[in-house]
Structure 1
């Protein structure tokens, strides 16, 4: 029973890889190869070799051979589970690219620029699906994951930076026109990748300065079902103490919260900014205790007492603490 969630999660990841890699393969064989354009990452290097060899080697075989050092990197820095996912993704990507090779003869578009745009959209969508499911397809994907884990950068942006170096090589070996068109394709691919991963579930961080912090906190809890954090601040000119309410909401909740705050306190000052990634209960985890703890970060003493009691009941139910003891402090 304990292994079932992990087993199902792995199956889900593999399904995402299959769907995403297939979409990526359609983009490469349907729009990139017919116009002898390039792609990003290891697949871009594979295309350069494929064009030089004039089809003597299959694109899938070249892709797999170039990924062998990457498989070592996945094992060395990402662990055995990621190694297995990377190996599966690399093999499937290499096979599906060869299976979809007849698409390159259909001439789906006669305009290289349109081919580059559609190729970028398809490849970006495919990679985004793979990453959203927690997988990768070899190439520079594991390298991008390592960089993201260490520095917190967006995967699409990391890929775009690395791909620029590959495009320089492509411009020298193939021609500058193909490299320039690929630049458009790669940029679109990176943007679509980021959007698929986080854009359709985009979060906004809001900072609210109001003389009614308790009321605003209650609005956030009751109207949006979100928690909030109060930060102590000071006015730079008056040096008067102020309380800043920080809350993270979904894109659809921004307008509702703005209207509610403006109706309650027309003098409130609000700053709204993008949240590139949000990790925590209510956004990326499913924890009853964590959800209740967010309420503790609000300033309502009544709700705080209720939340502490609920946490205690949850711990008792999970046998985290004896039932005859009381939680002394959160």
Structure 2
């Protein structure tokens, strides 16, 4: 599949998840967990004649205009597509499911499922080098003009929205929203790490030539060979080091097991790999 097509399919999946988490779980109980989405929920409370989806579109357009004027054209087509697209999907939900109510009366369940679904969706979008707009743009503006770090900028913007939720919907809902902001960040990071997870594998074997050939020819991966000496035996040995994804690691482990049950293998999780065969270093 074409790389660009795959990227946009994944971004679209992430958009639908963000919109679904917001509309089906967070919006019914006015849980504003930051971002343009959360700000739209707060504004809708004060101006109910404008839907949440419409507010999201308006907020993102305004932020993009400010962003273009303040920090240039660094957002990219994918970010515009993801942010406006998510807003449109919410608007479609509001149009075709206008009287949707909470599936449960337990606000904690609503918060947990809403954050999980939307944060996983955001993680998918972020992993394609895009974003859903909102507080990301505010953070970049704060970073450029006030020197505030991007992470702190997002936190400041989200906390301001949470305070707005507390003022609009009461202290208790404000606290739930704050909890959602905190959990949201952890889930997004975990999603990105999980999608990018690779395995760094070090192999010492009497059948190193066969293993090297399998890695290069069958798995289509590269490897680095280190020449080592056993501290006890004083024997010269090859140490094969390669990085593979989870699927290829299972194949490699099975191959090693079949040809050399005495092989010595160490495995480490790698959460980001940049370069040939993996993520583009420029992204």
TM-score interval, normalised by the smaller of the two chains: 0.5 to 0.7
Distance in 2 between residues matched to 1:50 and 1:56, nearest whole Å: 8
Q: Give the secondary-structure state (helix, strand or coil) at the position aligned to 2:222.
A: coil
Distance in 1 between residues matched to 2:233 and 2:276, nearest whole Å: 37
List per-residue Cα deviations over 1:52-101 (Å, max 9, x = no partner).
Answer: x1625432344344433355436776746x44443444333333333323
Distance 1:105 1:265, change over 3 A: closer
List per-residue Cα deviations over 1:162-193 (Å, max 9, x = no partner).
Answer: 78745763675345543554466556655665
Of 21, 26, 31, the residue aligned with 1:27 is 21
Q: State the Cα distance separating 1:13 from its structure 2 match.
A: 5.7
Q: Which moved more, 1:130-139 or 1:234-243?
A: 234-243
Unaligned runs of 5+ residues in structure 2 are: 142-150
Of 245, 264, 271, the residue aligned with 1:268 is 264
Which residue of 2 is the match for residue 294 of structure 1? none
List per-residue Cα deviations over 1:131-187 (Å, max 9, x = no partner).
Answer: 4555433213567899xxxxxxxxxx9999678745763675345543554466556
Larger radius of gyration: 1
Distance in 1 between residues matched to 2:212 and 2:84, nearest whole Å: 51
Of 86, 94, 100, the residue aligned with 1:93 is 86
Distance in 2 between residues matched to 1:49 and 1:266, nearest whole Å: 65
Where do residues 248-259 of structure 1 align in structure 2 (5 Å cutoff)? 248-259=243-254
Unaligned runs of 5+ residues in structure 1 are: 147-156, 286-330
Query: Does the 8 A contact of 1:60 with 1:94 survive in 2?
Result: yes
Distance 1:171 1:91, change over 3 A: closer
Aligned alpha-carbon RMSD (Å): 4.6
Distance 1:167 1:77, change over 3 A: closer
Q: State the Cα distance separating 1:17 from its structure 2 match.
A: 4.8
In the alignment of these two chains, the number of paired residues is: 266
Of 126, 137, 140, the residue aligned with 2:135 is 140
Which residue of 1 is the match for residue 41 of structure 2? 47
Which residue of 1 is the match for residue 144 of structure 2? none
| Structure 2 residue 223 is matched with structure 1 residue 228 | yes
Q: Which moved more, 1:207-216 or 1:31-40?
A: 207-216
TM-score by length of 2: 0.66
Q: State the Cα distance separating 1:229 from its structure 2 match.
A: 1.3
